Amino acid sequence: MIKRGLAKERRKKFHIKKNDTVLVIAGDERGKRGRVLHVLHKHNSILIE
């Protein structure tokens, strides 16, 4: 069986793209700024530098 990830319809739309600068608003890193390295659609999250 081959996993294909989430169907396009089920993916959450992110208005954030790779290399955008973002401000963390929740969690231990709150208030810090960083650059987006990767958008993880499968986990509904992003990876920040």
Per domain, the residue ranges of the chain are 11-48
> 46 vs 1, which has greater pLDDT?
46
Give me the percent of the chain exceeding a pLDDT of 90: 51
> 42 vs 16, which has greater pLDDT?
16
Is it the case that residue 22 has pLDDT exceeding 70?
yes
Is it the case that residue 10 has pLDDT exceeding 70?
no
Unique residue bearing structure tokens 């231990």: 28
* Pair type for strands 21-23 and 45-48: unpaired
Structure confidence at residue 12 as a pLDDT band (50, 70, 90): low
Secondary structure of 8-47 in the HEC alphabet? HHHCCCCCCCCCCEEECCCCCCCCCEEEEEEEECCCCEEE
Rounded distance, CA 11 to CA 41, Å? Answer: 6
Rounded distance, CA 43 to CA 47, Å? Answer: 11
